[in-house]
Homo-oligomer: A and B are copies of this chain.
Amino acid sequence: MCKYSFYNDYSEGAHPNIIHALINSNLIQEVGYGDDSFSLRAKDKISNLCGPNSDIYFVSGGTQANLICLASMLKPFESVIAAESGHITTHEAGAIESTGHKINTISIKDGKLKPNLIDSILKIHEDNHMVKPKVIFISNSTEVGTIYSKKELTLLSKFCKENDLYLYLDGARLASAITAEGNDLSILDITNLTDMFYIGGTKNGALLGEAIVINNSILKKDFKRLIKQRGGLLAKGRLMGIQFDELFSDNIYFELGKHANSMANKLTRGIKKLGFTFLTESNTNQIFPIFSNELIGKLNKLYGFYIWLVVNPENSAIRLVTSWATKEEFVNEFLLDLKALSK
């Protein structure tokens, strides 16, 4: 039994406001499948951030959002381009392939796709014996904690338009990305620059739930049937509505992201002070310090975390994840223990 878990950002339940809203709304009768008043109100609030031209749907998790959205954008022979570190590439048990589509992968250290990398994939897929890349899959923040700048996303978006590609953004950790030090992207920017994206709830204070935002009008038609078909339409859609209604009240969604980041930043500063380096530059809620395997073994008896990557025979990068619920006292304690153990 460890002192504290930095395994991930879904170790606790939900933000207290959500719990209260569940209590207060519990016995109100509502229609099912997402047409309830809570969902409508939550969509209104998200529309305030995205603008009025996007369609919004709620589904229960990130893999479900990804497989529903990507399959909706692809003809049978079309493929998705993603980073090798992309969540869909190896951590979704073949969910995208299960819908019939290949993922063309790009190996890139910071987990961020760039036009020239995508272009090199396009160039080797011109022959009609090959799949045709059609969707660019990116994550923000990425799976290695980095974020896209407004300039980078604008260039990607432009490249996609010029090459008849769709741009899709996995926002499982969008709250952390958007509130990170150095970020200059807003939800409105992302709406304008992508064809579809999702705003993650599960990893930012909800019990479950992601809000899919469809910006390209070609992709809007009959989307609900697709959600139903893939098993993503909850009978009690109110559960989604209530949660997103709360998250987008009083700026809470962003406050939670900011808290997670500040806890991670504190860890980063403390770890750097002790002389350690990191696998990637991250201002978001996932950080990847490199420790000796011996030190990792000792730390792991006290704290929960994943060993992310073998850097060399003696050293590995671990992943520390903070969340809306991370308590500062355990951040402090981790740093003290690290200092003690690494002497």
Contact A29 B14 (CB under 8 A): no
- The reply to whether B77 and A94 contact each other, CB–CB distance below 8 Å, is yes
CA distance A8 to B231 in the complex (A): 19
- A7-B31, A32-B10, A238-B13 given; A63·B233 CB < 8 A: yes
A233 with B61: CB separation less than 8 A: yes
Chain A 11-64 interface residues, beta-carbon cutoff 8 Å to B: 11-14, 16, 19, 22-23, 25-33, 59-64
Answer yes or no: A90 CB below 8 A from chain B CBs: yes
Interface of A is mostly: loop
Among B97, B228, B239, the residue within 8 A (CB) of A102 is: B97
Q: Does A292 contact B (CB under 8 A)?
A: no
Which of A135-143, A201-209, A259-267 forms part of the interface with chain B?
A201-209
Q: Does A339 contact B (CB under 8 A)?
A: no
Task: Tell me, yes or no, whether A213 is within 8 Å of chain B by CB.
Answer: no
Least distance between A170 CB and chain B CB atoms (Å): 13
A32 / chain B contacts, CB cutoff of 8 Å: 7-8, 10-11
> Is B94's CB under 8 angstroms from A131's CB?
yes
Asked if A68 is an interface residue, CB under 8 A from chain B, the answer is yes
Q: Which residues of B contact A13 (CB under 8 A)?
A: 22, 25-28, 236, 238-239
Interface residues of A in 212-251 (CB under 8 A from B): 222, 224-226, 228-236, 238-239
Q: Does A117 contact B (CB under 8 A)?
A: no
Does A5 make an interface contact (CB < 8 A)?
Answer: yes
Against B, the Cβ 8 Å flags (1 = close, 0 = not) of A98-128 are: 1111110000000000000000000010001
The answer on a CB contact under 8 Å between A31 and B11 is yes
- Tell me the residues in window 68-89 of chain A with beta carbons closer than 8 Å to chain B beta carbons: 68, 71-72, 75-77, 79
Is A129 an interface position by the 8 A CB rule?
A: yes
Most buried by B among A8, A28, A59, A62: A8
A325 within 8 A of B: yes
